[in-house]
Structure 1
């Protein structure tokens, strides 16, 4: 668990003195935006990414691709409305330097791209990025023909010596620590001389919906992909070599980033509507409809979007979150406010995320008077009266929103470094305040997020 910074600014989390009643427009999906940028960069013709998320992680991805020669122009879309990024593929080249920050998608998706570049590409990032697992991608790329200097660490910093192409072929990997290892190889697979066959040999595979998202986006870009869901071998994905086509892609709202706002309705017994919630999606955040309903609310999906209504009671839950681990911090915060015990399972891999999320949640919720214990693969949360105090975030955006959630029901909670939410959700403090009926603050320029208090 990365240590918190004592000097970081504290944000007084506002408490809710009445049920929330708001309409919250969340910006685009980080996962979709960054996959779209990679696929557009590897395509044979220009493409558009419309309604992209503008956050630290996506801007790092865009800058990294620019460093390797890809042109990304920001402005209005092809119809003259809305913010869009026009991606103009070019010959990938080095020397180049990539700053991954602490973005898993950047540090894992781009080394295969760099292996296709003509020249060396050096990867570096935040101190925590050195601790996050990357060996699955590094080892796989070496098997597929890449040359990588990492001093044997299996992590950053490192240099990928691109040769202009990559042989590709079959590779076995253990993606138990991150499904991004699989997605990273699949995204660039059409550009490998022999394509790629990825065989997962680990005991578990977390966040499988993210792999389905990758496959879906590859197919829409013209790639041929065979998957276990198509009747193929379990835990085996095959991508045929071929050209990727530029697309005009509209990015869905980030459903995982809708979590704190839906949770606010649950915790306060209120109502929140998120417009443009897709009827069908590969985003893991769609599971919030089921999970939060099981915890005491109800939802309605119609032409207005998703409306979630709290019942005034928060129930504990026993749930396997292996496919949706990114939702764990928010669910843990809600569970700490429930009227019965919760058990969150299948998320041992969260110890290797932006921080050790299980240790951090345990320490911070217990620091407010909670009763959280770690299990081998998750958390056990028993209800106890909570009190105010400092909720540390460890440079983790989802810890920050979890602290804000607790502050709704607990007076005197101060969240350390709320600005870390900018990793995926710019302007979160203003959105949160507006949801509670306060001034929304500046709008626009950050993906179009909007909060409106309903009359």
Structure 2
């Protein structure tokens, strides 16, 4: 594979000259966009996604569904009801059709694509080959593969339990009851639930492993299934703990407006906290299943305050950054940004419940430890997280390991530490298009 020059380029992280005061429109949620694409592709009628996120992960999902025969038409609307901070009026019309192979799916390094689409592929007529970036071969997929086999699918993976692999689509899947260990990724559960209404018997998924991480993402899946007409029994609705049941049935086409990605709002809120400034994120939802909503509580405890209005969320820093002892098991994707802020705090922090981050885009716990320590920090890995003792940091290269959240973590530190250079900041395009532009626009809005 030829190395992309952007991967080795160094981006000088801008240093804040004073308190930041800015409004930052954040593009749509990757998690919502990719779930919505799958559900729309499996629906019995066309649907619309408005203000979808256009990033590497979502374009990979759209491209994969097109390869399976789904129609996706992209338009830009001038209607005020379809415009806003979160997508400039872009809309995608999803036209379901008979899923078919042969097809090849490029998953890149997108967990949602590599895990959500194999169940969809079992419903296709023909073989569907899955391949992706080298790192995708190392990410756990056995939970989905083993479960689909237990539900009647034929999958060739040469016993790896990982990519590359081929799903021998038979046009239908029997479904039924299955036990899985999803302790390494909640996406194993979501993957089975999303396609379950199209299985002959639906599905009963029973998690039998250790602690299930990122529960908000499973609640997001359940809520979105119900919104398109699926019948779902879940622990939150009075069902058994760690058991989800989906009844077979037709899915409705929806006209869905995608929420802004609250996890991608993290670096901008962190900027207000670090500089003692104020940042507003427009269109922050009053109710959401996105894990990023936890930032309101976490960053307030670390030294800021927030106000949620009809215009959005305004976060204000106090000029002080406090350490935190917090269990991030349900919101693990927020760990890199919180670790970056904690490295600049006035007291130690302990981040717990995130052992599963060792299996994400990179081993995030090892990567954060190495990169912060090489800037003069004092970070220690624990069995399930990080212990961070703030130290005076200095400039240097912050490596990203092709991980978008590592890149934004480095940018956060660079606000307060001179001469930090981010290697491969372009990797942020995975979920946040033009992060460098948004970052420099925020800094240029008003610093004083």
Partner of 1:203: 210
Deviations 1:23-60 (A, max 9, x none): 00000000000000000000000000000000000000
Unaligned regions of 5+ residues in structure 1, if any? 438-451
Contact map agreement 1:57 1:423 (CA 8 A) in 2: yes
Partner of 1:321: 328
Partner of 1:342: 349
Partner of 1:188: 195
The CA distance in 2 between the partners of 1:302 and 1:251, in whole Å, is 19
Give the secondary structure class of the aligned counterpart of 2:248.
coil
Partner of 2:175: 168
Closer/same/farther in 2, CA of residues 274 and 6 from structure 1, 3 Å limit: closer
The CA distance in 2 between the partners of 1:130 and 1:317, in whole Å, is 35
The CA distance in 2 between the partners of 1:98 and 1:410, in whole Å, is 41
Partner of 1:357: 364
The CA distance in 1 between the partners of 2:318 and 2:78, in whole Å, is 44
Q: CA deviation at 1:454?
A: 9.3
Partner of 1:34: 34
**Structure 1 segment 16-165 matched on structure 2, within 5 A:** 16-77=16-77, 81=82, 82-165=89-172
Contact map agreement 1:388 1:413 (CA 8 A) in 2: yes
Q: CA deviation at 1:246?
A: 0.4
The CA distance in 2 between the partners of 1:6 and 1:79, in whole Å, is 36
Give the secondary structure class of the aligned counterpart of 2:8.
coil
Q: CA deviation at 1:86?
A: 0.2
Q: Does 1:423 align with 2:423?
A: no
Contact map agreement 1:334 1:405 (CA 8 A) in 2: yes
Deviates more, 1:81-90 or 1:390-399: 81-90
The CA distance in 1 between the partners of 2:365 and 2:313, in whole Å, is 29
Q: Does 1:378 align with 2:385?
A: yes
Deviates more, 1:345-354 or 1:226-235: 226-235
The CA distance in 2 between the partners of 1:126 and 1:7, in whole Å, is 14
Closer/same/farther in 2, CA of residues 235 and 78 from structure 1, 3 Å limit: farther
The CA distance in 2 between the partners of 1:10 and 1:31, in whole Å, is 29
Q: CA deviation at 1:18?
A: 0.4
Contact map agreement 1:190 1:239 (CA 8 A) in 2: yes
Let me know the Cα RMSD of the aligned residues. Answer: 1.6
Partner of 1:246: 253
Q: CA deviation at 1:6?
A: 11
Closer/same/farther in 2, CA of residues 103 and 7 from structure 1, 3 Å limit: closer
Residue-pair matches, total: 439
Partner of 2:221: 214
The CA distance in 2 between the partners of 1:393 and 1:245, in whole Å, is 40
Q: CA deviation at 1:78?
A: 9.9
Partner of 1:446: none
The CA distance in 1 between the partners of 2:447 and 2:285, in whole Å, is 22
The CA distance in 1 between the partners of 2:242 and 2:223, in whole Å, is 16
Query: Displaced runs of 4+ in structure 1, greater than 2 A?
Result: 4-7, 76-81, 452-455
The CA distance in 1 between the partners of 2:413 and 2:447, in whole Å, is 23
Closer/same/farther in 2, CA of residues 79 and 42 from structure 1, 3 Å limit: farther
Partner of 1:229: 236
Q: TM-score, normalised by structure 1?
A: 0.95
Contact map agreement 1:50 1:77 (CA 8 A) in 2: no
Give the secondary structure class of the aligned counterpart of 2:206.
strand
Deviations 1:164-192 (A, max 9, x none): 00000000000000000000000000000
Q: CA deviation at 1:77?
A: 5.0
Q: Does 1:284 align with 2:259?
A: no
The CA distance in 1 between the partners of 2:409 and 2:79, in whole Å, is 38
Closer/same/farther in 2, CA of residues 116 and 78 from structure 1, 3 Å limit: farther
Closer/same/farther in 2, CA of residues 9 and 132 from structure 1, 3 Å limit: same
Deviations 1:288-342 (A, max 9, x none): 0000000000000012210000000000000000000000000000000000000
Unaligned regions of 5+ residues in structure 2, if any? 83-88
Q: CA deviation at 1:5?
A: 9.7
